[in-house]
């Protein structure tokens, strides 16, 4: 404690106390995603509270509002007509799943609307994602978008990622001739057949590769990163690199948005491989018998709406196999 002892009097004493207090009390501002989640959650409640407490309006006020609404509607209709594009832009993908908050889309100057599951996304559209979303890409693969993200679809094969969190999944065997590029504040990310996550805001970009490889072209050079690598960079700054696990907490948001897997008539092995990719954990069989059982078992039914880990437990419960998470791997063995 001696080194913390401030002088007892005078200006020096004040400065010393100020230093102690600032050092202990000053906290870093909350992270971007924290702020966005907080804002969205509180805004929902605020709006709900407003709609519940809105007092009954007088007839006169309603009449005036009616007039104003009619005039507004006319103006909006005119504006919408003016902003309708001459031809439809190229298809980018479609919304496969939306979690609370949804997506707001802007195209042209005046056209805003909230997207529903099944709606298509086209080039030239700007997305503000309030909840999380799963998008099926027209060129194959999926794009998962975290809450609080802003994106602009620049081309059918290029996404301008302004801020937030996204995860791109190109399953093996899907090798589009023009793979999707993600343009960020610090450079461009291109995948070379992979699963990867990009987090970005106006200050920095983080890329985490879960499978395959990605190439990042920034102002400080071009870097390739393999599975289990994290790249961190800022505009005009060097790129730092470190190893990361491909499973666990940090990836849970992506598994929560995993596309449904249709098990009907498909092999248990195929399902296990899907679960393995979604969980970022390699498969390991206890013996050849377990592997054979997985290869010849044909599944029936559905695991729709279940997250990969839940689906894994539920499906294996109907077979003679079971699993354990052993370190990084999913270890499959006989139930008996």
Partner 1 sequence: MYEEDRALVARMRAGDQRAFDEFVNCSAPRLTAFVARRSALDTASLEDVVQSALIKAVRNLASYRGEAALFTWLTEICRHELIDVQRKAARRPAQVSLEETATARLAVAELRVPEHEEPAATLEAATRAAAVMQVLASLPERYFRALEAKYGDGLSVDEIARELGLTMIATQSLLARARDAFRERWLEIADQTHTGASPL
Interface ranges with partner 1 (CB under 8 A): 1-2, 4-6, 8, 13-14, 17-18, 20-27, 29-35, 37-39, 41-43, 45-46, 49-50, 53, 146-147, 165, 197, 199-201, 204, 206, 208, 232, 234, 240, 242, 248-250, 252-253, 255-256, 279, 307, 309, 325
Quick one: 122 or 260, whose CB is closer to partner 1?
A: 260
Question: Smallest gap, in angstroms, from Cβ of residue 6 to partner 1?
Answer: 6
Residues 144, 259: Cα–Cα separation, whole Å: 9
Count the alpha carbons within 13 Å of 137 in the hemisphere toward its beta carbon. 25
Residue 39: C-alpha distances to residues 47, 250, 268 (Å): 12, 22, 43
Quick one: 49 or 117, whose CB is closer to partner 1?
A: 49
Both structure tokens of 256: 């929560």
Residue 275, sorted as left (phi over 0), alpha (psi -120 to 50) or beta, turns out to be alpha
Question: Smallest gap, in angstroms, from Cβ of residue 236 to partner 1?
Answer: 15
Quick one: 92 or 261, whose CB is closer to partner 1?
A: 261
Quick one: 151 or 156, whose CB is closer to partner 1?
A: 151
Quick one: 41 or 82, whose CB is closer to partner 1?
A: 41
Selection from 146, 137, 149, 220 nearest residue 181 by Cα = 137
Question: Smallest gap, in angstroms, from Cβ of residue 184 to partner 1?
Answer: 12
Question: What single string gives the DSSP state of each residue in 276-302?
Answer: HHHHT--EEESSHHHHHHHHH-B--S-
**88 secondary structure, DSSP code:** P
Question: Smallest gap, in angstroms, from Cβ of residue 30 to partner 1?
Answer: 5
Question: What single string gives the DSSP state of each residue in 161-182?
Answer: EEEEEEEEE--TT---SS--EE
| Residue in the structure block whose two tokens are 């395959």 | 212
Residues 200, 208: Cα–Cα separation, whole Å: 12
Question: Smallest gap, in angstroms, from Cβ of residue 256 to partner 1?
Answer: 5
Contacts of 304 (CB under 8 A, 6+ apart): 260, 262
Quick one: 2 or 177, whose CB is closer to partner 1?
A: 2
Question: Smallest gap, in angstroms, from Cβ of residue 89 to partner 1?
Answer: 30
């Amino acid at each position: 404690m001696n080194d913390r002892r401030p002088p007892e009097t005078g200006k020096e004493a004040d400065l010393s106390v100020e230093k102690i207090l600032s050092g202990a009390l000053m906290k870093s501002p909350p992270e971007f995603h924290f702020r966005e989640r907080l804002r969205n959650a509180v805004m929902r409640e605020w709006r709900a509270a407003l709609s519940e407490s809105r007092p009954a309006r007088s007839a006169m006020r309603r009449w005036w509002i009616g007039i104003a609404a009619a005039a507004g509607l006319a103006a909006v209709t005119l504006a919408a007509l003016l902003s309708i594009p001459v031809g439809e832009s190229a298809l980018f993908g479609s919304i496969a799943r939306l979690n609370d908050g949804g997506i707001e889309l802007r195209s042209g100057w005046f056209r805003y609307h909230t997207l529903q599951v099944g709606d298509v996304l086209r080039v030239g559209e700007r997305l503000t994602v309030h909840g999380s979303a799963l998008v099926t890409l027209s060129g194959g693969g999926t794009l998962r978008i975290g809450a609080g993200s802003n994106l602009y679809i620049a081309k059918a094969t290029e996404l301008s990622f302004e801020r937030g969190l996204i995860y791109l999944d190109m399953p093996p065997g899907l090798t589009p001739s023009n793979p999707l590029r993600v343009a960020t504040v610090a450079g461009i990310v291109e995948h070379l057949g992979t699963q990867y996550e990009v987090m970005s805001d106006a200050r920095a970009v983080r890329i985490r590769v879960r499978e395959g490889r990605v190439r990042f072209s920034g102002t400080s050079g071009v870097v390739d990163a393999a599975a289990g690598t994290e790249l961190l960079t800022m505009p005009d700054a060097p790129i730092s690199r470190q190893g990361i696990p491909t499973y666990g907490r940090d990836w849970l948001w992506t598994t929560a948005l995993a596309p449904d897997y249709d098990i009907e008539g498909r092999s248990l092995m195929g399902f296990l491989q899907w679960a393995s990719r979604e969980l970022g954990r390699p498969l390991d069989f206890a013996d050849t018998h377990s592997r054979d059982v997985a290869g010849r078992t044909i599944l029936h039914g559905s695991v729709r709406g279940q997250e990969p880990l839940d689906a894994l437990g539920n499906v294996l419960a109907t077979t003679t196999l079971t699993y354990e998470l052993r370190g990084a791997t999913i270890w499959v063995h006989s139930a008996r």
